[in-house]
Structures are given as structure tokens and as C-alpha cells.
Structure 1
Amino acid sequence: MAAMRAKMQITRIEKHGDTEALHFHAVSRSSSYPADGSDEDNTYAKFSPCGSLSLTVANPALIGKFEVGEKYYLDFSKAG
């Protein structure tokens, strides 16, 4: 299997005691992208137009380090 990279944006953070649930969605725009393809999000949205991920963080060093609206690359490679 080939490696894959997705570009995701945090859309919601829920605090649950000592943990945080981070909710991500694939990057997209409500308006059109530039015709010349100069917006990087355009490239990711073209090949991964829809996606979501929820991840609970329990590492105390990471709590409060994420913000709604931030974008991240998620790299996937086969394990084992």
C-alpha cells in the first residue's frame, strides 16, 4: 500500500475532565478555489474531498495545545 497524506482542520474541541476530544474534517472551502490551483487546500480537497476524524488526547503535555481552525497533515502508512 502506498503512503497517503491528508490535510485536516480542527473544527471542534471538547474538554472531558483530563482529556480533550479533537474533531477534524478534511480541508475544504465554502467558496470556489482559484482556477490556477494556487491554493494548497484545493489540491487536498480534490483528492480527499470528504473526511472526518475524532481523536481523544490524554497526554497532559498536549492538553490545551490545539486550537479550532488549525490545520494539520496526517500521514498514513501501513503498520506491521
Structure 2
Amino acid sequence: SHITRVTQLEHPCAPQYALGSPPAPPLGRRRELPVPPQPSQYAQSHCIVPANPYLTEEIPHWLYIYSKAPPELDHKLK
């Protein structure tokens, strides 16, 4: 921790750090999965994000050539 200047030597998922985790069910029994929420229950964002202006741009010729060149020639770039 940067605040307390103490090093954590145990893994964070070690059993002593598992707070309130239920015990695993026996192998013979299966736990039912919860029903997923209906689409109307999903949180919707009211933020409108503009389209990426680079989606319709033409790829520059130099970038196309660069993408086709083998990595062994990278040392020739200036």
C-alpha cells in the first residue's frame, strides 16, 4: 500500500480476503442460474456520442505502404 507503506505478501484472492463468499455447492447439486433482467430494466445512457470522423477518410498512401512493409525494415525509418 502506498498509504501505509506495508507490502501485501498474500494473494488478494486468498481465503482470508474472501469476504462473505458463499461456500461452493456440493458436486451432486446444481444451483439455478438467476433469470437475466428484461431489456426494459437495462440502464440506458442519454449521452449522444458523435460518429468517428475518421471512419470515412481515405487511408493515406504512406500509411498503406508502411502497413505492408515487413517489421525488419523498421530501422530504416527516420
Output the TM-score relative to the length of structure 2.
0.15
Instruction: State the structure with more CA Rg.
Output: 2
Bigger relative CO (Cα 8 Å, ≥ 6 apart): 1
Name the structure where helix makes up a greater proportion of residues.
2
Output the TM-score relative to the length of structure 1.
0.15
Name the structure where strand makes up a greater proportion of residues.
1
